[in-house]
Amino acid sequence: MPHRYFASELVDGRAALTGADAHHLAHVMRAAVGDTVPLCGPDGLEYTGTVTALVPGRVEFAVSGGTPTRAEPGAEITLYIGYPKQGKLEDIVRHGVELGAARFVPFFSRWCVAAPKNEDKKNARYNRIAAEAAKQAGRGRVPAVLPPLPDITALCAALARERYDIALFFYENGGAALRGLVAPGQSRRIALITGSEGGFAPEEAAALRAAGAVTVGLGPRILRCETAPLAALAAVMTLAGELE
């Protein structure tokens, strides 16, 4: 697959790259005026970009095309992830982008082993990882990784604010069968909630249920905190018809 780029600006048939992508195209790929590259815009469409100018830190294009990217799923899935320790979130983001997640929202809970530290710096790295994974996977958008929520109360508020079609709470104590809750075309905006190494305190589980989340299980086996969100995402994407 040709290297694809995500335009920082796209309006009225013109687009531009800045920052690391502009440097890569100009100095690593040695692009010249008149060259064409696959270019994805903020609208999630894929364009053909024809280089019109190269200036320090910026590459400009004329764009044509504007077709949906096949790699972008119809279901918009947000992963709410109990903050794991030892860099495991990097792998969750990388593989979650490949599987089609639209957004990642880490959160801290009562029994999290990890504690907040240098979150601004970490968040910038997570978003760089998401961007690289999106290029590799042929995505039409770069999924966002949001700063972590401080507690379950903030998570419940986010669920109310976002008004998902369905929020699925994957609880270690089990719950409803996932099959039957998700089907092709049934739900477009879906939230998936999985816990950290320590799991959820009973009052946290009760708060999520009170916020409208449907408690579901992932089978009789105990999954690690870095496995559960990816297993949940793959299962939901399959039931939604997005892995066919």
| Residues in Cβ contact with 231 at an 8 Å cutoff, skipping those fewer than 6 apart | 218, 223
Residue 149 to residue 224: CA distance in whole angstroms: 21
**Burial per residue of 113-125, b for 16 or more beta-carbon CB atoms within 10 angstroms, e otherwise:** ebeeeeeeebbee
* pTM of the full structure: 0.91
pLDDT at 8 over 80: no
Average of pLDDT values for 208-224?
A: 94
Give me the residue label for tokens 């100095």. Answer: 27
Position 9 scores a pLDDT of 83
Quick one: 241 exposed, middle or buried, by C-beta within 10 A (0-12, 13-18, 19+)?
A: middle
Contact 33, 13 (CB under 8 A): no
pLDDT 10s digits, 39-72: 998 888 899 999 999 999 999 999 988 898 888 9
Position 70 scores a pLDDT of 86
Position 118 scores a pLDDT of 94
Average of pLDDT values for 136-153?
A: 95
Position 2 scores a pLDDT of 62
**What single DSSP character describes residue 84?**
P
pLDDT at 1 over 60: no
Residue 221 to residue 214: CA distance in whole angstroms: 20
Residue 142 to residue 176: CA distance in whole angstroms: 32
Does the domain at 5-68 match CATH 1.10.3720.10? Answer given as no
To the nearest whole percent, how much of the chain has pLDDT over 70? 99
> Torsions phi, psi of 41, nearest 5?
-100, 175
Min mean pLDDT across 25-29, 40-44, 214-218 is at 40-44
Position 143 scores a pLDDT of 96
Residue 189 to residue 10: CA distance in whole angstroms: 26
Does the domain at 76-239 match CATH 1.10.3720.10? Answer given as no
| Residues in Cβ contact with 55 at an 8 Å cutoff, skipping those fewer than 6 apart | none
> Quick one: pLDDT band at residue 187, thresholds 50, 70, 90?
confident
Min mean pLDDT across 38-42, 81-85, 139-143, 192-196 is at 38-42
pLDDT 10s digits, 86-141: 889 999 999 999 999 999 999 999 999 999 999 999 999 999 999 999 999 999 99
Longest dimension (CA), the chain: 61
The domain locations on the chain are 5-68, 76-239
